């Protein structure tokens, strides 16, 4: 017992020593854990701060590779073309073109066969013959290939086939503005439209070329003109809208049109711009200029009366009215009933010399200055005799382009100031100089007649509530070699809005419309073109920010004008 007790007593110091060692080991472990925890916390804090800095506080540390900035323009050979709001109308895409060195091609027939299987439409026989040529070291195989086609050609692994970086001109809007924008060839040379007239500018200045067109307005005009063409089984048509304050062309549509991405597939008629290249007798729309020149010269007053009671004979010609009233007509009646006899009586009063000088001031005797290469020359009588003066008074015997007509109309309703038309966007608020071609009073009187014609005359179907449209109809037989083409006409309507302070001029013309049973077989301007103009105005006026009015402005059509109409 004593031995066991002594053994226990001797063992106590050893156990105490072991417990002391364990305590020290645990303390050391505890210190190491604290240090590790602190290090982990510091690392976590550093990572967190870095994440906040990278993702929220600074863009300078973002990865560079996937970012694309718009401050470094692509090195393209041709600048973009955009509409007035920056909508893309023409741009260039980098492509690869395939060419070959026939001297390196081992098996021309097999190579041509394998290429034809990859490239749709490739002339296998023609390619084989070119690749078999022993005296040539360069032949084109396919220009502007797709990336997939380039990949497939690369997979062939045929020595002697090479790629060259090129650009392909593309037109995202397709046919929408084809006659204005035009197109360029495979070598980036402008061949039509803006692409041609501004070819050098597009090659030397990388900034987009901004046009005055508004694609929203362009779309509406195109859609409504096409609707009239379809309804009246016409062969074509056109529409153009001008801002009278700036001369900017907001829309220019010629139908049929074409896809500038594939101009080679279009025929000559589709590529023909009826607005600037076509010249036509404008029919009764010209009576607005006869009235304006009469007011301006003092030869015509609003309360004058004109003999339209019987046909007018001159030489071997006899001039009559279409649905004439067979009586004397007041000046407003001559306009709203579109009387040829009343218009020629005015021309007699005005005189040949003053008529020619006035139309020259309006720009009818020279080509339109708009910036397009497809511009026609007007056909004017030489010599300008009295018989010419009489027929020109109601729109026959002189052919002009629709662009000339719209430009002259804009001057006639905008206080008598003629401004050159443009297809380029002007700077916001830019002051556009012009030339006075008639008195402001004559312009105001003309606006009253045009509004009255929509209220009570042949332009009723162009009325749009709240916008007080003014306008003049026109129906003219088409000219052919040796005379007029039977049963073929151009039906048109020239509109302004709002009539009390015109801001926009719109011309709609439909080529060879056919009468319908619903219209009694008629296809005149008031039946065909005026409704289309009204639909266009109803759709584009809100887009252009024209505020509708509930009450008509004062003095838009004076009571005197309405009182001058005898039913």
Q: What is the pLDDT of residues 484-524, one digit of tens each?
A: 777 788 999 999 999 889 999 999 999 999 999 888 888 99
**DSSP H or E segment with residue 140:** strand 139-145
- Listed in order, the ranges of the chain carrying CATH 3.90.1310.10 are 81-102+137-210
Quickly state the pLDDT bin for 85 (edges 50, 70, 90).
very high
Quickly state the pLDDT bin for 218 (edges 50, 70, 90).
very high
Q: What is the second-level CATH architecture of the domain 219-563?
A: 3-Layer(aba) Sandwich (3.40)
In CATH terms, the superfamily for domain 81-102+137-210 is Penicillin-binding protein 2a (Domain 2) (3.90.1310.10)
What's the rounded Cα separation, in Å, for the pair 283 and 183? 33
Q: Is the pLDDT of residue 89 over 60?
A: yes
The pLDDT > 90 percentage for the chain reads 62
Q: What is the pLDDT of residues 510-559, one digit of tens each?
A: 999 999 988 888 899 999 999 999 999 999 999 999 999 877 776 666 65
Q: Is the pLDDT of residue 63 over 50?
A: no
Alpha-carbon Rg of the chain, whole angstroms?
39
Q: Which pLDDT score, from 0 to 100, does residue 61 have? A: 43
**Given 92, 228, 284, 338, which residue is catalytic?**
284
How many helices (H) and strands (E) would you count in the chain? 18, 18
Mean pLDDT in the chain? 87
What are φ and ψ of residue 174, in 5° steps? 60, -135
**DSSP H or E segment with residue 170:** strand 161-170
Angle of helix 287-297 relative to helix 440-456, nearest 10 degrees, comes to 140
Q: What is the pLDDT of residues 108-160, one digit of tens each?
A: 888 889 899 989 989 988 888 888 887 888 989 888 888 898 899 988 888 88
Q: Is the pLDDT of residue 4 over 70?
A: no
- Listed in order, the ranges of the chain carrying CATH 3.40.710.10 are 219-563
Q: Which pLDDT score, from 0 to 100, does residue 41 have? A: 74
Quickly state the pLDDT bin for 230 (edges 50, 70, 90).
very high
Range of weakest confidence among 6-15, 17-26, 61-70, 87-96: 61-70
- Cα–Cα distances (Å) from 231 to 228, 300, 480, 516, 519, in that order, read 5, 39, 25, 9, 11
- 197 included as an active-site residue: no
Residues 6+ apart with CB under 8 A from 38: none
């Amino acid at each position: 017992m004593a031995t066991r007790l002594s053994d226990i007593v001797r063992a106590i110091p050893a156990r105490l020593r072991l417990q002391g060692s364990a305590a020290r080991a645990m303390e050391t472990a505890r210190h190491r854990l604290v240090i590790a925890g602190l290090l982990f916390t510091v690392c976590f804090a550093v990572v967190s701060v870095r994440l906040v800095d990278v993702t929220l506080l600074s863009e300078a540390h973002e990865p560079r590779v996937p970012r694309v900035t718009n401050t470094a323009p692509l090195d393209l050979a041709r600048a973009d073309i955009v509409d007035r709001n920056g909508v893309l109308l023409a741009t260039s895409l980098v492509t690869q073109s395939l060419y070959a060195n026939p001297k390196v091609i081992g098996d021309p027939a097999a190579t041509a066969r394998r290429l034809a299987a990859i490239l749709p439409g490739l002339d296998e026989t023609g390619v084989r013959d070119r690749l078999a040529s022993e005296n040539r070291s360069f032949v084109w195989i396919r220009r502007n290939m797709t990336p997939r086609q380039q990949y497939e050609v690369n997979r062939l692994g045929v020595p002697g086939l090479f790629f060259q970086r090129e650009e392909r001109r593309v037109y995202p809007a397709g046919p929408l503005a084809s006659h204005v924008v035009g197109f360029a060839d495979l070598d980036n040379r402008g061949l039509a439209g803006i692409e041609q007239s501004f070819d050098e500018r597009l090659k030397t200045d990388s900034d987009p070329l901004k046009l005055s067109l508004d694609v929203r307005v362009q779309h509406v005009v195109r859609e409504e003109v096409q609707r009239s063409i379809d309804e009246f089984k016409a062969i074509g048509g056109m529409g153009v809208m001008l801002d009278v304050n700036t001369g900017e062309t907001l829309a220019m549509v010629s139908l049929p049109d074409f896809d500038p991405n594939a101009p080679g597939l279009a025929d000559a008629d589709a590529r023909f711009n009826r607005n600037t290249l076509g010249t036509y007798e404008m029919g009764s729309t010209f009576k607005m200029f006869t009235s304006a020149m009469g007011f301006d010269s003092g030869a015509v007053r609003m309360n004058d009366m004109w003999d339209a009671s019987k046909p007018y004979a001159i030489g071997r010609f006899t001039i009559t009215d279409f649905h004439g009233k067979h009586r004397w007509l007041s000046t407003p009646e001559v306009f709203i009933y579109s009387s040829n006899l009343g218009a020629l009586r005015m021309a007699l009063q005005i005189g040949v010399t003053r008529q020619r000088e006035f139309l020259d001031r309006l720009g009818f005797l020279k080509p339109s200055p708009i910036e397009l290469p497809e511009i026609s020359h007007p056909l004017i009588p030489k010599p300008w005799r009295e018989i010419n003066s009489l027929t020109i008074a109601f729109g026959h015997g002189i052919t002009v382009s629709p662009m000339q007509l719209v430009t002259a109309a804009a001057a006639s309703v905008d206080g008598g100031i003629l401004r050159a038309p443009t297809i380029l966007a002007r700077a916001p608020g830019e002051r556009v100089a012009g030339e006075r071609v008639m008195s402001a009073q004559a312009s105001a009187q003309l606006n009253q007649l045009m509004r009255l014609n929509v209220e009570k005359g042949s332009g009723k179907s162009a009325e749009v509530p709240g916008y007080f449209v003014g306008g003049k109809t026109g129906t003219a037989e088409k000219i052919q070699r040796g005379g007029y083409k039977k049963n073929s006409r151009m039906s048109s309507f020239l509109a302004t809005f709002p009539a009390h302070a015109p801001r926009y001029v719109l011309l709609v013309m439909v080529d060879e419309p056919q009468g319908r049973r619903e219209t009694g077989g008629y296809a005149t301007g008031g039946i065909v073109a005026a409704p289309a103009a009204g639909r266009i105005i109803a759709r584009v006026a809100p887009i252009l920010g024209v505020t509708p009015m509930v009450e008509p402005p004062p003095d838009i059509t004076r009571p005197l004008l309405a009182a001058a109409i005898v039913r």
